[in-house]
Amino acid sequence: MKYPLAAVTLILIAGVFSILASISLWSLSGTIAQISVFEHLSQLPGYIIVEGLWLLADGIILIILALMMKEERVKNIRQAGVAAIILSLLSLNFPVIVFGIVGGILALIWVPETSEKHP
Per-residue pLDDT of the chain (119 residues; tens, 9 = 90+): 688 899 999 999 999 999 999 998 888 777 766 665 666 666 777 788 888 899 999 999 999 999 988 887 777 888 899 999 999 999 989 999 999 999 999 999 988 777 666 66
- Annotated domain spans of the chain: 5-109
Cβ(42)–Cβ(36) under 8 Å?
A: yes
Q: Output the pTM of the full model.
A: 0.84
Report the pLDDT value the prediction gives residue 33, as an integer from 0 to 100: 62
Report the pLDDT value the prediction gives residue 76, as an integer from 0 to 100: 82
Q: How far apart are CA 61 and CA 115, in angstroms?
A: 32
